[in-house]
Amino acid sequence: MKRLSLIKILASAILIFSGGLCAQIQHFEWQGKQREYLVRTPENYESLPVMFFLHGLGDNITRCDQEFNFPQVAADFGWMVVIPQALNEGYGSMWNAGLTASTTNDSGFLMALLDSLATQYPVNQDSIFFTGFSMGGFMSHRMAIEHGDRINAAAPVSGLITTYMANHTAVSPVRMLDIHGTSDPVVGYDGGSEYFGYQLGLSVDAIIDYWKNANGCTNEAVIDTLPDTHNDGLLFVRYSYSGNAELQHIKVIGGNHSWYRNDNVHDIDYMNYIHSFFTGKVSFDKVTNPTTGSLNVYPNPTNGQIKIDSENEGLIEIFDIQGNIVVQQKLEEGVSTIDMQSFPEGVYFFKEGNRVEKVVVEK
């Protein structure tokens, strides 16, 4: 009963009403129910990679089609984009990702829809991808767990693996990209919810451990950061794991329950990054803005004092691996010193303005 109440509150909290875009909604009968979906394709194609986009709780496909401009996405990527609609079971349109006791077989529906589309279009069966936001992220995890033998990669955004699905073994290693903000109040990084005091699923750290195990990944991550080109108060840190299938996690330090895009405000466009990950062409090159001076942090690695050369006065913020600010200190023009001898060993991020440096503390 408490689970149902949470879902009702969530539905009302993040429901977004549909926009005015007119789109040709198609229908597919599955287990005696008429299911709705939209398909967007480029003008010319011979073989089509397929990307499913799964909407959030209470959302709908026409609004998503308008907000994300999926006709343009399909044209830019040269891909088929499939936007299926979840059923409304009394508390908003919601995917059965294992959060409630629903008996709706959304997992089977989505794969049956793929099979049906493959009879109508030249689908590239070696390029099947799933992504989604919020509850759509929950469902993307489920699809990867249950159908990783057919799905080439998945990219959940602000979604978790539910406790129910955590008890299932992934059928196959599958390339995974998980994106989540550390300050998400709706679907918390710790698996709970700041609003409702409820555990929605595994913590993100536990989710990464789940996929490390499923994908046979090494324990140590390669850690880098997205170029901090906009003063948006966010830091995008990437953790990359190698194994039988690639695993990436982007921890958005300070990030909330949002799908960030390249709007001259943020440092990342999720859709473009996800596409690059799906195609294996993602790059996280470091960039320094030459108009704002340079930041030089040394020695690195360190077991004691860190010196920071700065051409200007400013404020240095040091984040630990969990995204917590552990030091805030004014920088003087010239050389400033920070004593890190008492810091636990590990990786820290030094951020000043638009510049970020990774520092390793060794004992």
Is the peptide bond prior to 299 cis by the omega test (within 30 degrees of 0)? yes
Q: Which three-class secondary structure state does DSSP give residue 325? A: strand
Domain final residue pick, 279, 304, 333:
279
Rounded to a whole number of angstroms, the distance between the first and last alpha carbons of the chain is: 51
For position 81, what pLDDT does the model report? Answer: 98
User: Is 164 domain-assigned?
Assistant: yes
For position 9, what pLDDT does the model report? Answer: 41
Q: Which three-class secondary structure state does DSSP give residue 319? A: strand
Same domain? 142 vs 78: yes
For position 188, what pLDDT does the model report? Answer: 96
Same domain? 265 vs 302: no
Same domain? 314 vs 255: no
Same domain? 333 vs 229: no
User: Encoding tokens for residue 55?
Assistant: 């909407």
For position 196, what pLDDT does the model report? Answer: 66
Same domain? 306 vs 228: no
User: Encoding tokens for residue 280?
Assistant: 């294996």
Buried b (16+ CB within 10 A) or exposed e, 152-187: bbbbbbbbbbbeebbeeebebbbbbbbbbbbbbebb
- What is the CB neighbour count within 10 angstroms for residue 21? 14
Q: How far is CA 148 from the centre of its chain?
A: 18
Q: Do 215 and 245 form a contact (C-beta atoms < 8 A)?
A: yes
> What are the angstrom distances between the C-alpha of 62 and each of 28, 32, 39, 150, 224?
16, 23, 11, 27, 37
Same domain? 268 vs 298: no
Same domain? 235 vs 312: no
Same domain? 268 vs 299: no
User: Is 77 domain-assigned?
Assistant: yes
* Nearest Cα residue to 160 out of 214, 203, 196: 203
User: Encoding tokens for residue 136?
Assistant: 């759509």
For position 4, what pLDDT does the model report? Answer: 40
Q: Report phi then psi at 309, rounded to 5.
A: -90, 125
Provide the CATH number for the domain around residue 326.
Answer: 2.60.40.3080
For position 22, what pLDDT does the model report? Answer: 39
For position 355, what pLDDT does the model report? Answer: 76
Q: Which domain covers residue 312, as residue numbers? A: 290-361
Average pLDDT for consecutive 10-residue bins of the chain (363 residues)? 42 36 77 96 95 97 95 96 92 91 94 97 97 98 98 98 97 98 96 85 97 92 82 87 96 94 81 95 46 66 86 84 84 87 87 80 85
Same domain? 327 vs 195: no
Number of domain units in the chain = 2
Same domain? 104 vs 208: yes
Provide the CATH number for the domain around residue 31.
Answer: 3.40.50.1820
Q: Do 359 and 301 form a contact (C-beta atoms < 8 A)?
A: yes
Q: Report phi then psi at 251, rounded to 5.
A: -90, 115
User: Is 284 domain-assigned?
Assistant: no
User: Is 285 domain-assigned?
Assistant: no
Domain final residue pick, 228, 247, 279:
279
Q: Report phi then psi at 211, rounded to 5.
A: -75, -30
Return left, alpha or beta for 31; rule: phi > 0 is left, psi -120 to 50 is alpha, else beta: left
> What is the chain's Cα-based Rg?
22
Is the peptide bond prior to 42 cis by the omega test (within 30 degrees of 0)? no
For position 293, what pLDDT does the model report? Answer: 43
Same domain? 227 vs 267: yes
- Which residues have a Cβ under 8 Å from the Cβ of 105 and sit 6 or more positions away? 30, 31, 96
d(CA 189, CA 203): 6
